[in-house]
Amino acid sequence: MPSLPPAGAVLYAKDIAKVGHFYADVAGLRLAHEEQDHLVLESDTFQLVVVAIPSKRAASIHIAEPPQRRENTAIKLVFPVSSLVAARQAAQLRGGELNAPSREWLFQGSRVCDGHDPEGNVVQFRERAR
């Protein structure tokens, strides 16, 4: 029986290159495939497809500088990282942000911190608690 494909998510973005670089650098995903209208980023166990919002719709979307978090959504992506400190630094370099260390918490053996990507999508990062 063939193995199943990895679990994944699809994220729609106005600027797929900017969002893709964020998840590659902060979450440690590698670029597996690239087309004009989408990117496929992956790890051994997860695949993130970043799809371009159609241009007619994208023209009506304003991304603030810095981006405002879109917290009123039903889904939050969660990524494991080896270091929240390194993830925080990488996020800032790529147009996103992680909350301050004072807002981290422990959950199921992990130290956890929320943040957002360059378009304001809320995302969570987890490192193993030391």
67-105 residue pLDDT tens = 999 988 999 999 999 999 999 999 999 999 999 999 999
Q: Let me know if residue 1 belongs to a domain.
A: no
pLDDT at 5 (0 to 100): 87
Tell me the pLDDT tens digit for each residue of 100-124: 999 999 999 999 999 999 999 999 9
User: Where do the H-state alpha helices sit in the chain?
Assistant: 16-27, 55-58, 84-93
> How many domains is the chain built from?
1
CATH code of the domain containing 78: 3.10.180.10
Q: At 108, is the secondary structure helix, strand, or coil? A: coil
Asked whether residue 63 is domain-assigned, the answer is no
What is the span of the domain harbouring residue 73?
7-54+69-128
Task: Evaluate whether residue 82 is within a structural domain.
Answer: yes
Q: How confident is the model at residue 4 (pLDDT cuts 50, 70, 90)?
A: confident
Q: pTM above the 0.95 mark?
A: no
- 123 lies in some domain: yes
